[in-house]
Structure 1
Amino acid sequence: MAHTVDAVVVGAGPNGLVAANALVDAGWDVLVLEAQDVVGGAVRSAEVTSPGFSTDLFSAFYPLAAASPLIRGLDLHQHGLTWVRAPDVLAHALDDGRAALLASRAEDTAANLDEFAAGDGAAWLDMVASWRRLRDPLLDALFTPFPPVVSVARLLRRTRVAGAVDLARLAVLPVRRLSHEHFRGDGGGLLLTGNAMHADIPPDAAGSGVFGWLLAMLGQDVGFPVPQGGAGRLAAALAARIGAGGGEVETGMRVRSIEVVGGRAVGVRTQDGQLVRARRGVLADVTAPALYRDLLGDEHVPPRVRRDLDRFQWDHPTFKVNWALDRPVPWTAPAARGAGTVHLGVDLDGFVDGAADLSVGRTPERPFLLFGQMTTTDPTRSPAGTESAWAYTHVPHGIEWTPDIVRDEVRRVEAAIERVAPGFRDTVLSRFVQSPADLEAADENLVGGAVNGGTSAIHQELFFRPTPGLGRPETPIPGLFLASASAHPGGGVHGACGWNAARAAIGAAGRTGALRRALARTAWERVLGRE
C-alpha cells in the first residue's frame, strides 16, 4: 500500500468510486481504502439464496445512474458494464386484480391509465412532454453542487417565470396532492406515489411530489435498468476504471481516523496503525456522523457542527427478503408479469396509513412493498424458467430484530404478495432475509438499515444537508471533503456526491485554490457563527 498519495478516498461505495475516477481523470495519484473485502458498498451482488441465483444485496435498479451525465461520461461499458431492462418498467398490483403500469412506451402507459379514468392517459403524456423540456438542465441542477447557478439559469430560459413558479411549487408539493391535481383515476396516483415512497417522505408531506415525479419520469425516459449479471458489476466496472487510470483500490483496509495537522486534513490512519499521507485531499464516502464523530473526533469538529449533528435524522430502516423461485411469480394482474419492479401491498389510502404507522413507530400490518423481478429483467440472474426475486419495505426505528420479530415481518411481506400472486409461497425454493441490523452489519453506511444516508425530507436537503450550512462537499476542515449520500444531493446511485467532492478537491488544489479555500473558510465562519 502506498504511503503518500495525492488523495485518499475513504470507502469504495459508488460515490467513493466515482470520486476516485474523477480524481484519476485529473491526473491525481489516488488510493481508495475500503473496510469490506469487496468494493461497492450498497451496490453488491452474491449467490445467497440458491446456487445459480444472483441476488442484489442492497440496491438493484438504477434509473439515476442511467440518467446521470456523470456516470454516462465514465464509459463504463469499456470496463465490463452492460445495462439491461425488463419488458416493462414498473407495475403497481392491487388486491382486486388490477395493476397500474409504467410501460416502456409512454403511449402504452397512457393506455393503461385510461383504463382507470378516461383522460388520464393524456394527462400522463402532458407530464412526460413537460419532463422532456426540462430534463437536461434539471438533471444538471440536481447533480451540481449547491447553489447550481448555471443550471438554474438554463432551466429558467426554458421555463420562463410562470414555468419556474410551477416548478418551485412542484418542489414542495405533496405527492398525494400532485396526483389529485393531474389524474381522475387511481392509476396515475399509484405510479407517482409508489415512486415517491422509494424515499422516506410521507405521501402527504411537502417534497414527496417531486421525488415521485422525478422517478416516474426517469422510468418513462430511461427505464429502471440493471447491470447484466448483478449489481456488483457496476461497482466492479467503476473499480476497474480506477485501476486502468493508475489509481489503487485496497479492500479489507479499515480507516481508523483522519489525520489533522495545523487544522488541515493531511491523511488517514488505518486500523492497523499505518499512516497514509494525502498531499491534496481526503475524501470520505462515509455518513456525516461517522465522519465528524468517529474519524475526526470532537477536538477537530466545531461545536456548532457537533450540536447540529445531534439533530441529524436518519431515513426509515429497510427490511428486505430475497428469494430463489422455481418459476415466475403467479401474478393475478397480467401487467405485472413483465415489469422489472412491482409495487404492491397498499392502495392510495394505504400509502397514507403505512406512513402514519411509521411516523408513530408502529410496524405496518399491511406494508407497502417494492418487489424486484430480477430474472425477468436480466435472464442471466437465475436458471431458465426460474426467478431471482426480492422485496423490501420500510419499518420503524428502534426495533430489536429478534428471530421471532424477523419471522413476523417475513409473514407480513409474503402475505402481501400472496394477495396479488396466489400460490407465491409454493414457488419459493429458498429465502435469504436481511433485517435492518443485517444491512448495517454488511455496510456500515446503512446505519440502522437506513439506505439514503439520512432523511430525504425537505428540512435535510439542499443547504440543510447534512446539517445547516453550505450544501457543498467542503467541510470546516480544509483538505477534507464529504463524498457520501449524507451530502447534497443525497441518496441514490448517481455518483453526484462523490463527483462533487472530487471537483471541490481539484478546485481547492488548482491555480485558484487559494481563493477557493478563502471563500470556503469565510462561508464556514459565517455558518459557524450562527449562535
Structure 2
Amino acid sequence: MSESVDAVVIGAGPNGLVAANLLADAGWDVLVLEAGPSPGGAVRTAELTAPGFRNDVLSAFYPLAAVSPVINSLDLGAYGLRWRHAPAALAHVLPDDRSAVISRELDTTIASVREFAPEDGDAWQDEFTSFTRMKNPLINALFQPFPPVRAGLRLARTLGVADGLRFARLVTMPVRTLAEERFRGAGARLLLAGNAQHTDLGPDDAGSAVFGWLLAMLAQDVGFPVPEGGAGRLTIALANRLAAAGGRIECDRAVTRVHTAGGEAVGVTDVTGRVVRARRAVLATVPAPTLYENLLSPHDLPPRLLRDLKSFHWDDGTVKVDWALDRPVPWRNPEVSKAGTVHLGGDMHGLARYHQDISAGRVPVDPFLLMGQMTTADDTRSPEGTESAWVYTHVPREYRWDTDSLRHFADRLEAVVERHAPGFTGTIKDRCVQGPGDLCHVDGNLLGGSINAGTAAIHQQLFFRPVPGLSRADTPVDRLYLAGASAHPGGAVHGGPGANAARAALRRAGRGGRAYRAVIQRLNDAVYRD
C-alpha cells in the first residue's frame, strides 16, 4: 500500500530542508526522502581525520547564508544555530608571502590594500559604499526567480540609469578586467580574483567579475561565518525546525522514479520499491540531468528540452584534503594566521594558467588552493592548541583518479602550503583525501566532483539555467519543481532554489493556481516547442 502526503521533497540537503520547512509552515504534510544515511547533503560534519577534530565534510563557510533572506526568515538561532567568525574573513597569499586581507573591520582591509597601492584604500572604501547602498535590493533580487520584478525595480530605483548600466556591465565582465579598472595594486585585485575562484570561472572568463566582487563585498560586510560546532549544525537546525513544524525526513530512501499522470507529477518510487503519492507537489533537489534523464520518462518531457540537456555544462571536478594539525599553521606571514579562509596559488597570471590547465584537461601544475582554518574561525572544532584545516582545488572532470594519484596530488597540495608555512607538513597528525568520486559518494548530487551542479559561466545563468528556459523552479511537468543548485540562483548554501520551488508549489496549489499553471504552460510551450 502506498503512502500519501501533500509533498515529497527529494533530497535532505540545505535546499531540500529549506523547501520542506516553507511547505510545512504552510500546513502541508511534507516527507523528505534522502538517499544517504543522514540529512545534510554537502552540509555535514564528521571526524574525518583524528578523534576530537571536527571536519566539515564538504562546504564550510557561509557568507551567502548569512545574508540570505530565506535562511534569515527561518529563525534558525532558535534551533541551535550560532555563527562564529575568525579574526579576519580572508587572506590571499601572494608568491612572495605578502598577503591581502579582508576583515569585517573596514579600516583593517583598507590598510591592507593600501600596502600594495596607496590609492586603493579609498577605492575599496568607494566600492564598499556602493555595495552597501544597493545591498538590500540586490540580495532580494538575487534570491528570487528571474526576472525578479519587484526587487529588480527597487534595485533599478536605487541605482538609477547611469549606475544601473554600469552594474549591468560589471555582471558580464571578466574579474581581471574589473580588478584592473578599479584598483592599482595586486592586493585588492587578487582579493576580487581569488573570490571568483569559488566558482569554476577563470580571471578572464566573462561573468567572473560579479562573483568575485560579490563575495569580496560580503566578506567585508558579514565576513565568512561558520556554524559553531561544524557545518552540520546548520543541517541539524533546519532538520529540528522541520520536525517542530510537523515535517518528516527518512534516510536511506533514494528516489528512483518520479511518476506522472495526465502531465502532472503524482508521486515517487524509492530504491526499496515503496511508492509515495504526492497530492500537491514533488520537489527535486537533484541536478537537472538527473531529474530529467534518470527520474522521468522521456515521454514526459518536450524533445527540445532533452536536446538542450545534451549541452548542459558541469562545473569542474574537485579534490579536497582535510587535516588534523597538532598546532596552528606556521605561516611565514603572521597576518595569514588570523584568516578563516585562505587563498593560495599565485598572482593573476598564475590563476589564468591554472584555469588553462583545467580547460585543457590537465591536472594543474600550480593549483590554486582554497583553504579553511576552521579552529581559527571556531575554537570548538579541535582540541586546544591544534587546528582543523582543509584545502580544496578544482581539477578536470574527465581525469580519472586512483588511490596513488590522489595521494601524490595531496602531497603536492601540502607542498604549496609548505612553501608559505615552513614546517607545515610536520604539524600534520592525520589527513583525509577525497577525490571527485569520494565527494559524489558522500553526496550523490556532486557528480564528477562538481560542487555547484553546473557551471557558473554566464551562458548557464539566469534564464539559461539549467538550460534556456524560464529561470524558475517550475518544470514542463505540472506540480514538479527543480529545487536544487542546477536551478537559479545556483550553487552555494543560501536556500534560494529550495525556497523558489516551495513558493511555486504553494502558488500552484493556492487560489488562482490553475491560471498560474496556464501561464507557465504557455511559456513552456513558447520555449520548448520545436
Alignment of 1:402-481 (within 5 A): 402-481=402-481
SS of residue paired to 1:96:
coil
Q: Does 1:156 align with 2:169?
A: no
Q: Which amino acid aligns with 1:274?
A: R
Deviations 1:283-318 (A, max 9, x none): 001010110111112121221111111010100111
Q: Which amino acid aligns with 2:404?
A: D
SS of residue paired to 2:33:
strand
Deviation at 1:399, TM superposition (A): 1.2
SS of residue paired to 2:304:
helix
Q: Which amino acid aligns with 1:195?
A: N
Deviations 1:249-285 (A, max 9, x none): 1111111111111121001111111111111100001
Deviation at 1:14, TM superposition (A): 0.5
In 1: Cα distance, 2:375 partner to 2:2 partner: 41
Deviation at 1:104, TM superposition (A): 2.0
Alignment of 1:274-289 (within 5 A): 274-289=274-289
Q: Which amino acid aligns with 1:77?
A: G
Q: Does 1:497 align with 2:497?
A: yes
> What corresponds to 1:14 in structure 2?
14
Contact 1:366 1:412 survives alignment (8 Å):
no
Deviation at 1:188, TM superposition (A): 0.4
> What corresponds to 1:375 in structure 2?
375
Contact 2:340 2:376 survives alignment (8 Å):
yes
> What corresponds to 2:121 in structure 1?
121
In 2: Cα distance, 1:499 partner to 1:293 partner: 24
Q: Which amino acid aligns with 1:246?
A: G
Q: Does 1:201 align with 2:236?
A: no
In 2: Cα distance, 1:319 partner to 1:271 partner: 29
> What corresponds to 1:513 in structure 2?
513
Q: TM-score, normalised by structure 1?
A: 0.99
SS of residue paired to 1:399:
coil
Alignment of 1:45-56 (within 5 A): 45-56=45-56
Deviations 1:193-249 (A, max 9, x none): 000010011111110000000000011111100010011110111011110001111
Contact 1:326 1:386 survives alignment (8 Å):
yes
Q: Judging changes above 3 Å, is the alpha-carbon distance between structure 1 residues 49 and 2 closer, same or farther for their aligned structure 2 residues?
A: farther
Deviation at 1:406, TM superposition (A): 0.7
Q: Which amino acid aligns with 1:82?
A: R
SS of residue paired to 1:116:
coil
In 1: Cα distance, 2:419 partner to 2:123 partner: 30
Alignment of 1:313-328 (within 5 A): 313-328=313-328
Alignment of 1:253-272 (within 5 A): 253-272=253-272
In 1: Cα distance, 2:295 partner to 2:284 partner: 9
Contact 2:397 2:448 survives alignment (8 Å):
yes
Deviation at 1:94, TM superposition (A): 2.0
Q: Which amino acid aligns with 2:176?
A: R
Alignment of 1:301-316 (within 5 A): 301-316=301-316
Q: Judging changes above 3 Å, is the alpha-carbon distance between structure 1 residues 2 and 212 closer, same or farther for their aligned structure 2 residues?
A: farther
In 2: Cα distance, 1:421 partner to 1:410 partner: 16
In 1: Cα distance, 2:253 partner to 2:407 partner: 35
Alignment of 1:97-136 (within 5 A): 97-136=97-136
> What corresponds to 1:522 in structure 2?
522
Q: Which amino acid aligns with 1:34?
A: E
> What corresponds to 2:214 in structure 1?
214
SS of residue paired to 2:392:
strand
Deviations 1:381-422 (A, max 9, x none): 000000000000001121111122112211220111011111
SS of residue paired to 1:432:
strand
Contact 1:315 1:454 survives alignment (8 Å):
yes
> What corresponds to 2:339 in structure 1?
339
Contact 1:5 1:278 survives alignment (8 Å):
yes
SS of residue paired to 2:104:
coil
In 2: Cα distance, 1:114 partner to 1:148 partner: 37
Deviations 1:413-446 (A, max 9, x none): 0111011111100000000000011101111100
Contact 1:33 1:251 survives alignment (8 Å):
yes
SS of residue paired to 2:324:
strand
Contact 1:94 1:420 survives alignment (8 Å):
no
> What corresponds to 1:145 in structure 2?
145
In 1: Cα distance, 2:245 partner to 2:51 partner: 35
In 1: Cα distance, 2:346 partner to 2:251 partner: 41
In 2: Cα distance, 1:160 partner to 1:263 partner: 44
Q: Does 1:94 align with 2:94?
A: yes
In 2: Cα distance, 1:412 partner to 1:429 partner: 17
Deviation at 1:2, TM superposition (A): 8.2
In 2: Cα distance, 1:464 partner to 1:18 partner: 24
> What corresponds to 1:186 in structure 2?
186
- Give the count of matched residue pairs: 530
Q: Which amino acid aligns with 2:427?
A: T
Deviation at 1:95, TM superposition (A): 2.7
In 2: Cα distance, 1:443 partner to 1:261 partner: 30
Deviation at 1:374, TM superposition (A): 0.3
SS of residue paired to 2:340:
strand
In 2: Cα distance, 1:8 partner to 1:397 partner: 32
Contact 2:266 2:279 survives alignment (8 Å):
yes
In 2: Cα distance, 1:497 partner to 1:84 partner: 25
Deviations 1:497-528 (A, max 9, x none): 00000000000001010110000011001111
Deviations 1:138-169 (A, max 9, x none): 00110001110111100111111001001100
Contact 2:320 2:392 survives alignment (8 Å):
yes
In 1: Cα distance, 2:64 partner to 2:83 partner: 13
Contact 1:345 1:417 survives alignment (8 Å):
no
In 1: Cα distance, 2:176 partner to 2:256 partner: 45
Q: TM-score, normalised by structure 2?
A: 0.99
Q: Which amino acid aligns with 2:522?
A: T
Contact 1:316 1:396 survives alignment (8 Å):
yes
> What corresponds to 1:486 in structure 2?
486
In 2: Cα distance, 1:242 partner to 1:502 partner: 14
In 2: Cα distance, 1:32 partner to 1:59 partner: 21
Identity of aligned residues (%): 57
Deviation at 1:97, TM superposition (A): 2.0
Q: Which amino acid aligns with 1:402?
A: D
Deviation at 1:115, TM superposition (A): 0.5
Contact 2:203 2:348 survives alignment (8 Å):
no
In 1: Cα distance, 2:384 partner to 2:426 partner: 18
Deviations 1:339-393 (A, max 9, x none): 0000012112111111111111111111000110000000000000000000000
> What corresponds to 1:167 in structure 2?
167
In 1: Cα distance, 2:8 partner to 2:404 partner: 43
In 1: Cα distance, 2:27 partner to 2:446 partner: 32
